[in-house]
Structure 1
Amino acid sequence: MAAMWMIRGDGGRLYDDFRDRNIAAIGWAQLATEAKPGISRKALIQIYKVLQPGIKDASAVSGASQVYRFVNEISIGDTVVTYSPANRTYLVGRFTGACQLQLDLADQGMSLTRPVEWLALEVDRDKLTSASRNSLGSTLTVFKVAEDAQKELLALATGNAVSVTSKDPVEDPEALEDPLRGVEEIAFERIKDQINSLDWAEMQELVAGILRAMGYKTLVSPAGADRGKDIIASPDGFGFEPPRIVVEVKHRSARMGSNEIRSFLGGRHKDDRGLYVSTGGFTKEAFYEGERANVHLTMWTLDELARTLMAHYPATDPETKRLVPLRYFYVPA
């Protein structure tokens, strides 16, 4: 079986760019011009140390090794996957060409690119087994995907189902240079998994609980036709005292598009403030619609929802804490 590589462009921010441009890419602009095919890993590490005086040995090894892999170890025909933390989806494809230097894309974090033929079907993170989700949690930009996770991703991306027998995960030695490296990002993904497992009614209560922790009083709509609003939040609890925040909560895997945003905005008063929560994310067109709206609109993906919960968690009430139980722990800074 051909190798599968995870390429996390700028932590997932470049997901749409990868798909739209039919590429996978990495940054490291300072190393890009030196990372020529055939260069040794050792040489690239030394160059990195010269270009970045004072860099820690472990950071130089990790960074240069990932650039080396992207340039020299990936083969045409290998499979590739990238992840969108905002949408919680994986995009799967196949490398179709050699590494190319793209200095015109350096400021966008895509100094080195490889052409990719992406499959049309995206893979929902929640459809993967917990073992595969955990194995894909590394925060490295470039790493090999475990065989079981590879089989799952390829099957789901082609509309099939697969049963796998979990094996002990093989740790990437580069990820073990610092056992605590990336622990915050990994924990954040686990928190999002926990939030996403809530049903719709619980998700609505979670959003209301976060708003209460932020100092608002809330009115939650009962189940059924809500005429474009699930929660009303305001300082007085009735919506008489500004700001009056009208909240729509969509808890589904599909991204919300421009039509949904227009429908939500169409029922708003000019003095309303809108909050649209979509755990499945938003399309580019939806964000554009929100930016040009006459009513002030904030759009939360699962990422923003989780970060806001974490920021206000100490002030949340017991009911909200029961929905998503979390605890603090400390690591060296």
Structure 2
Amino acid sequence: MTRLWIVRAGKQGERELAAIEQGRLLPGFLEVGDLSTCKGRDAILAHLEQVMPDAGRNRLKNFAAQLNQFAYAIQVGDLVVMPRKVTDGVAVGEVTSEYKFHSEDPFRHSRAVKWLNEAVARDAFKQDLRHSFGAFMTICEIKRNSALERVRAVLKTGIDPGSLLGKQGKAAIPPSDEDVEAEDYASDIEDIANQQIISLIKSEFAGHALADLVAEILRVEGYTTKVSPPGADGGVDILAAGGTLGLGEDRICVQVKSGDGTANHDVVLRLIGSVSNTQARTGLLVSIGGVNAAAQKELDNNFFKLRLWQMPDLLKALFRAYGELSDETRAKLPLKQIWAPISGGDE
């Protein structure tokens, strides 16, 4: 029987790009040794007690249950969701290999996956599934509310039909101590809130309007800005400069990509050309759909010339500037800061 799993790729999405490009699930736990030598959760727990001696007992039991699922419970043919941090989407794939461990591999633990869709918008799913995707766990199963059938439906039609079983959609048998299920653990409130803010940004600042928002954030940070009019921009959406009257040496050429698709190598090359043509010192690429591996490599090769804002970076900049944004902008993005206790569990 096919099952549906969540496998994350880092608290900040630091392994997402590698997971997508390499077709692998990369859950982390880098201090942990080869799980194929640990048969069962108790054996994994004993190993964790050796390699993570300072962690609490309950935390280790939680990790052992997750790792046992990754190594042994997930089966070839199961579907997996990787909630993405650097974009607002999720990747959905089919597991194609058993657990593998490579001591020389920087990611160590992995399973091969065939990605069926690398960037499904979270808004394609109804709220209950979005909350499941926001569970704190790195590895867990989603089996309530017809989750598997609904993910399949979204892959096929783009539409979440909702719970097909109504109130009967919950698991008939209560989860045992061996289970790690998304609905049985606290959600990452910050992540869920961020996803709601992202949806609001995409709705209120669609298309070229996102350049206006980025320009306003830069103005709050002390830059004088010039926004190109809508239409063909030749790779320049915003020019920003520091100093009196914007005549300082801190000159930035900004390219804003508001679509869900990843920015590719050509986008970065055009930005490099625009930096030169406009006599800017720095290029800033704002891409809410992230970048692909070739684009990231080009950005890395131009570390002293280019910077990248993906969705988490844009949110951080927005939060820094929010109190000084215009009344009109804050009316479109009504936000309130709250304090909440921290819950752990994600690697």
Q: Is the structural similarity TM-score above 0.5? A: yes
User: Distance in 2 between the 1:20 and 1:217 partners?
Assistant: 38
1:157 alignment counterpart = 155
Q: Which of the numbers 246, 256, 279 marks the counterpart of 2:288?
A: 279
Paired residues of 1:36 and 1:71 also in contact (CA < 8 A): no
- Deviation of residue 122 (structure 1)? 4.1
User: Distance in 2 between the 1:178 and 1:143 partners?
Assistant: 10
The alignment partner of 1:139 has SS state of coil
Q: Which deviates more, 292-301 or 76-85?
A: 292-301
1:131 alignment counterpart = 128
Structure 2: state its 5+ residue gaps.
Answer: 343-347
User: Distance in 1 between the 2:234 and 2:115 partners?
Assistant: 38
1:84 alignment counterpart = 84
1:15 alignment counterpart = 16
Paired residues of 2:216 and 2:325 also in contact (CA < 8 A): yes
Q: Are the structure 2 counterparts of residues 130 and 145 from structure 1 closer, same or farther at C-alpha, using a change threshold of 3 Å?
A: same
The alignment partner of 1:113 has SS state of strand
Paired residues of 1:138 and 1:186 also in contact (CA < 8 A): no
2:4 alignment counterpart = 4
Q: Could you state the TM-score of these two structures normalised by the residue count of structure 2?
A: 0.80
Paired residues of 2:8 and 2:139 also in contact (CA < 8 A): yes
Q: Are the structure 2 counterparts of residues 112 and 291 from structure 1 closer, same or farther at C-alpha, using a change threshold of 3 Å?
A: closer
Q: Which of the numbers 240, 256, 267 marks the counterpart of 2:247?
A: 240
Q: Could you state the TM-score of these two structures normalised by the residue count of structure 1?
A: 0.83
User: Distance in 2 between the 1:77 and 1:203 partners?
Assistant: 40
2:216 alignment counterpart = 209
The equivalences for 1:1-333 within 5 A come to: 2-11=2-11, 12-33=13-34, 36=37, 38-39=39-40, 41-105=41-105, 108=106, 110-119=107-116, 122-146=119-143, 148-158=146-156, 161=159, 163-165=161-163, 179=186, 182-198=188-204, 199-235=206-242, 239-267=246-274, 268-293=277-302, 296-332=305-341
Q: Which amino acid aligns with 1:88?
A: D
Paired residues of 2:243 and 2:250 also in contact (CA < 8 A): no
- Deviation of residue 201 (structure 1)? 4.1
Q: Which amino acid aligns with 1:165?
A: S
The alignment partner of 2:97 has SS state of coil
- Deviation of residue 50 (structure 1)? 4.0
The alignment partner of 2:10 has SS state of helix
User: Distance in 2 between the 1:224 and 1:155 partners?
Assistant: 36
- Deviation of residue 139 (structure 1)? 2.7
- The percent of aligned pairs where both chains have the same amino acid is 26
Q: Which amino acid aligns with 2:322?
A: Y
Number of residue pairs aligned between Structure 1 and Structure 2: 328
Structure 1: state its 5+ residue gaps.
Answer: none
Over the aligned positions, Cα root-mean-square deviation in angstroms equals: 3.2
Q: Which amino acid aligns with 1:55?
A: A
User: Distance in 2 between the 1:125 and 1:145 partners?
Assistant: 16
CA deviation map 1:124-183 (0-9, x unaligned) = 33333333222211131101124544334323434664523375796986778985x733
Q: Which deviates more, 42-51 or 92-101?
A: 42-51
